Amino acid sequence: MSSPDPATPADLAARYQRGDFLFTTASRALLAQGTIRTVTETDPRRLASVIPGVLAETGAPLAVGILPFDTGPDTKVPGHLVVPRTVHRSEGVPSLPREVLPAPVRVRAVPSPGQHMSSVRAAVLALSERDLRKAVLARALDLEFDLPVPAERIVRNLAVGNPRHFTYAAELPGGRALVGATPELLLRRTGRTVFSSPHAGSMPRSADPAVDRANGEALRTSRKDQLEHAVVIDYLVEALRPFCRTLDVPAGPELVTTPAIWHLRTPITGELADPDITALDLAAALHPTPAICGTPTEGARDLVQELEPFDRDYYAGAVGWVDAAGDGEWAVAIRCAEIATTSMRLYAGGGIVAASDPQSELDETTAKFRTLLTAMGLEDVA
């Protein structure tokens, strides 16, 4: 089932075709092809409990796939995992020539920028009225093309342009695909060690070095962003605590960068109390975090669904893999686009707290669109 050839990350990214699953990190890549079995389930905990038996029955080394944003009891969008026929792995950072992509014939913001700012204002008011600490609001860009969207070329450009991200491509039900390059690792399980790298709190990068440094410093000292970040860390620590006999949580976040965004990040490391808890068990327990939903989860999710004029489906879900030993990696499915035949929808969101400013929140989503738009040569579209 595993590939015997000494493929490089560039080879695997270059081999990706629609229908495959690709997951590249800063140091390695995984390409899964073909399908032995597809497993879908709206309850992620049920899905996690089924997969070990499926892997044992098929003799496959791992399963790959994606969980939706909404994992609540009323969701109709299932987790979608595939047991692949062939798995290729490699180590190193992909290095490929940049590919040229066609320009869209139509671009539409959903909602409009003004409507998104109105939604931010409504969310700020609702936080106090509903006793919420945070909610995450997203907006979308719909792009239409004359010809089929070249998903393979977009994925390769994402992997090359964002080497420290988790670049991913996963097939969805209904013939769609979700592709993206996320900076955020939900969790990694290796033996008894669990590692999570939550991001919350953002500031756009600038081409001017002085402005860029100032933006980073402003983020580091921002009370609003520190609060937004603390909400996420509190949630993850409490969610991980029942599974871990030890947890190492730094006293404060660190500044990290992507090509488009400054972020606050806190790396969390734990030791599992029960070695039978798999990476997918943990993903099902942690997702969705306040970084992409808000808190308390149920109230924040309700507010998001009221204010956003679209269903998220798999945007802001969790994408990754779990193997027969229970090890695996799951990343937060952001900085992404859902691709149909001749159209695609890009998503970008931001955390709303009491101190949020509508214009700043709009600017943050605009900066986050740049991950996909840059990969497509469309930096000025948003």
Residues 6+ apart with CB under 8 A from 17: 152
Cα-flanking dihedrals φ and ψ of residue 374, to 5°? -65, -40
**Residue 368 annotated among the catalytic residues of the structure:** no
- In order of 142, 197, 220, 260, 303, the CA distances from 215 in angstroms are 29, 22, 9, 12, 30
Query: Whose structure tokens read 């040569």?
Result: 377
How far, in Å, CA of 381 to CA of 225, rounded?
A: 27
How far, in Å, CA of 16 to CA of 20, rounded?
A: 6
Q: For residue 112, is it left (φ>0), alpha (ψ between -120 and 50) or beta? A: beta
How far, in Å, CA of 379 to CA of 373, rounded?
A: 5
SS3 content of the chain, % helix, strand, coil (to 5): 30, 30, 35
CB atoms within 10 A of CB 28: 15
**Residue 184 annotated among the catalytic residues of the structure:** yes
Residues 6+ apart with CB under 8 A from 115: 309
Cα-flanking dihedrals φ and ψ of residue 279, to 5°? -60, -35
How far, in Å, CA of 51 to CA of 188, rounded?
A: 17
Q: Is the CB of residue 294 less than 8 Å from the CB of residue 356?
A: no
Exactly one of 41, 57, 91, 134 is catalytic; which is it? 134
Helix residue ranges, H only, the chain: 9-15, 44-58, 113-129, 151-161, 209-221, 223-240, 279-286, 297-307, 358-375
Q: Helices (H), strands (E): how many in the chain?
A: 9, 22
Exactly one of 184, 308, 361, 364 is catalytic; which is it? 184
- Would you name the residues annotated as active-site residues? 134, 184
